[in-house]
Amino acid sequence: MSDLQATGNSTSPADPRVESSNGGSSPLPTLLLVDDEPGVISSLKRLLRPLKYEVLSANSGAEALTLLESAHVDVIISDMRMPNMDGAEFLSRSRTVAPDTIRILLTGYSEVEAVVRAVNEGHVYHYLHKPWDDQDLLLTVKRALEQLALQRKAERLTALLQEQNEKLSSFNMELEREVHARTEEIRQTVMFLEGAEHDLKSNFLTMVKVCANMVEMRCGLPGHSARIGETARQIGASLGLSDYACNELLMAGLLHGIGKLFLPDALLKTPVAKLQPQEAKLYQLHPLHGQMALSPVSQLSAVQTMIRHQYERYDGRGTPDGLVGGLIPLGARVLALARDAEDLRIGVIAPQKMNDAQIISTVRAQTGIRYDPTIAEKYIDLLTQHAELTPEGVPDRVDASQLKEGMKLADDLRTARGTLLMTKGKVLSAEQVTQIRRFEIHEGEPFVILVEHAADARKAQAA
């Protein structure tokens, strides 16, 4: 018969007796004591009574297994020597009923082989020699419960992470539906993105490019953000930054102007050099708006910082925080130069467009004032050496009628109006080739389609 007697009110023999320090039903840690000697059970109960544990007991392995089927147990303390089913066998079988329970074995000094068997088969957390030391046993139980709490916390965090990932996936799907409903041009873009949904990393970068394209279309500057991002990435590579850091620079360039979506159309169409003081002040708020717009995306925290500080000056006279020199985040210093160089090239800053020589002269004049000297020299070296932004070399230009399945795009594919249809590096399927031809007919103007050389494609595939 099991030792099911507990302090306080009696219960029917059909139910396991619970000894609780608070006499209530609060979810306290539950221990199961298993020993064929009632005296051992009583001694353990007396030792554990001052602590806030609920204590169950059984006088055999079979009885304990039955109890485990109906009771939630955190820690099992089992004797090794018991008739019919020893402690090693019981603990091994208990794993099937209560796999997450912590197991502790009480054993004699001479039972080394039995202890090894219990550890191997029953996944015993710890074993204690009989007669046990009270403080050692209490400390072992405490540590077992701490480990169990850590395991359960890890499980909860894992479940929470899964829930957050599902919410993020749901958010992305909702965003795609909203974009599809607003414009037919973005619907075409989404059609291409659907093929990349299984590759999360690629899909994330593609979505960033889509957002950048929407900003470019609003500002009337197709490809502008992409060129800034690629220039920033090239400067980062020349500075010896990691691929990950260079990729963050690319995304910062793509999204640097996302805050401009909050500005009025008239302001966006006015060259920066012609803005009135109040208009210029309003215009320079777009980095802060951009940072706020991206703040829900934790993966872009570094990108948000670069965008916020893109108008800081090396001499400390910039906005929004007036940071000086090396106190300005490195990515923001790179982004500022890449942005200004592209704006100078297309005539956004100055009334006239500038060539490479004029851009170099302007950058040198502002080195140490607006720009970090090291970054400025790296950029000047890139222009002086005529560094290509596409490492595969000069690509082939083909007509839509010449496209074939398996061709790889050497640059982003856009409509004549600048709508992004497909990103650089995409290997075309037969269906996508057909779609491109249909879109070209719909647009009424031929697309500029650049593909890699066959030899370059084979070389990249082998690498």
Residue 56 has pLDDT above 90, yes or no: yes
Question: What sign for the dihedral angle of Cα 136, 138, 141, 147?
Answer: negative
Q: Among the three residues 334, 363, 389, which one is the final residue of a domain in this structure?
A: 389
Do the domain assignments include residue 213?
no
- Long-range contacts at 442-445 (CB < 8 A, ≥ 24 apart): 443/415, 443/416, 443/417, 445/415, 445/416
pLDDT at 384: 85
pLDDT at 460: 46
**Can you read off the two tokens belonging to residue 298?**
């934790």
Q: How confident is the model at residue 243 (pLDDT cuts 50, 70, 90)?
A: very high
- Return the ∠ at Cα 99 (arms to 48 and 120), rounded to 5°: 90
Mean pLDDT of 112-121: 65
Mean pLDDT of 55-60: 93
CB 290 within 8 A of CB 259: yes
Residue 12 has pLDDT above 70, yes or no: no
Residue 304 has pLDDT above 90, yes or no: yes
62 & 48 share domain: yes
366-400 confidence digits (pLDDT tens): 999 999 999 999 999 998 885 444 444 456 778 88
**Any residues with CB less than 8 A from the CB of 163 and at least 6 apart, and which?**
none
Phi and psi based region of residue 325 (left: phi greater than 0; alpha: psi -120 to 50; beta: remaining): left
Q: Among the three residues 389, 424, 450, which one is the final residue of a domain in this structure?
A: 389
Q: Among the three residues 337, 369, 389, which one is the final residue of a domain in this structure?
A: 389
- How far is C-alpha 453 from the geometric centre of its chain's CA atoms? 35
Rounded to whole angstroms, the maximal C-alpha distance in the chain is 99
Do the domain assignments include residue 166?
no
Distance CA 251, CA 179 (A): 20
384 & 414 share domain: no
363 & 409 share domain: no
pLDDT at 197: 45
357 & 264 share domain: yes
266 & 370 share domain: yes
Distances (CA, A) of 250 to 209, 232, 243, 264: 10, 6, 10, 26
Q: Which runs of E-coded beta strand occur in 74-116?
A: 75-79, 102-107
Do the domain assignments include residue 357?
yes
Higher pLDDT, 411 or 370: 370
- Least confident piece of the model among 4-8, 28-32, 436-440: 4-8
Do the domain assignments include residue 422?
yes
Residue 307 has pLDDT above 90, yes or no: yes
255 & 289 share domain: yes
Do the domain assignments include residue 171?
no
Do the domain assignments include residue 173?
no
Q: How confident is the model at residue 247 (pLDDT cuts 50, 70, 90)?
A: very high
**Can you read off the two tokens belonging to residue 132?**
């046990």
pLDDT at 200: 59
Residue 179 has pLDDT above 90, yes or no: no
Helix (H) or strand (E) holding 172: helix 134-182
pLDDT at 109: 60
371 & 229 share domain: yes
- Least confident piece of the model among 19-23, 307-311, 407-411: 19-23
Distance CA 177, CA 195 (A): 16
Residue 199 has pLDDT above 70, yes or no: no
Give the chain's end-to-end CA distance (angstroms, integer).
72
Specify the CATH number for the domain of residue 71. Answer: 3.40.50.2300
pLDDT at 34: 95
Q: Using the structure block, give the residue that is written with the tokens 């401009």.
A: 260
* Cα dihedral: 232, 198, 420, 245 (round 10): 0
Residue 458 has pLDDT above 50, yes or no: no
103 & 248 share domain: no
pLDDT at 187: 58
CB 254 within 8 A of CB 225: yes
Write down the pTM of the prediction: 0.48
pLDDT at 322: 94
Number of domains within the chain: 3
Do the domain assignments include residue 52?
yes
Q: Which of 9-18, 244-253, 430-439 ranks highest by mean pLDDT?
A: 244-253
Residue 15 has pLDDT above 90, yes or no: no
List % helix, strand, coil for the chain (3-state, nearest 5).
Answer: 55, 10, 35
Q: Which domain covers residue 31, as residue numbers?
A: 19-154
Q: How confident is the model at residue 7 (pLDDT cuts 50, 70, 90)?
A: very low
CB 216 within 8 A of CB 348: no
**Can you read off the two tokens belonging to residue 4?**
């099911």
Helix (H) or strand (E) holding 333: helix 330-346
Residue 115 has pLDDT above 70, yes or no: no
316 & 338 share domain: yes
pLDDT at 13: 33
Mean pLDDT of 404-421: 80
Residue 107 has pLDDT above 50, yes or no: yes
Q: Which of 144-153, 309-318, 380-389, 400-409 ranks highest by mean pLDDT?
A: 309-318
Q: Is the peptide bond before 131 cis (omega within 30 degrees of 0)?
A: yes
323 & 418 share domain: no
Specify the CATH number for the domain of residue 289. Answer: 1.10.3210.10
pLDDT at 42: 93
264-280 confidence digits (pLDDT tens): 888 877 777 788 888 88
Mean pLDDT of 62-78: 92
Do the domain assignments include residue 159?
no
Mean pLDDT of 337-354: 88
Residue 338 has pLDDT above 90, yes or no: yes
- Least confident piece of the model among 137-151, 301-315, 408-422: 408-422
Distance CA 327, CA 250 (A): 21
49 & 128 share domain: yes
CB 248 within 8 A of CB 306: yes
Amino acid at 438: R
DSSP string, 209-277: HHHHHHHHHHHT-TTHHHHHHHHHHHHHHHTT--HHHHHHHHHHHHHTTGGGGGS-HHHHTS-GGG--H
188 & 48 share domain: no
Higher pLDDT, 12 or 211: 211
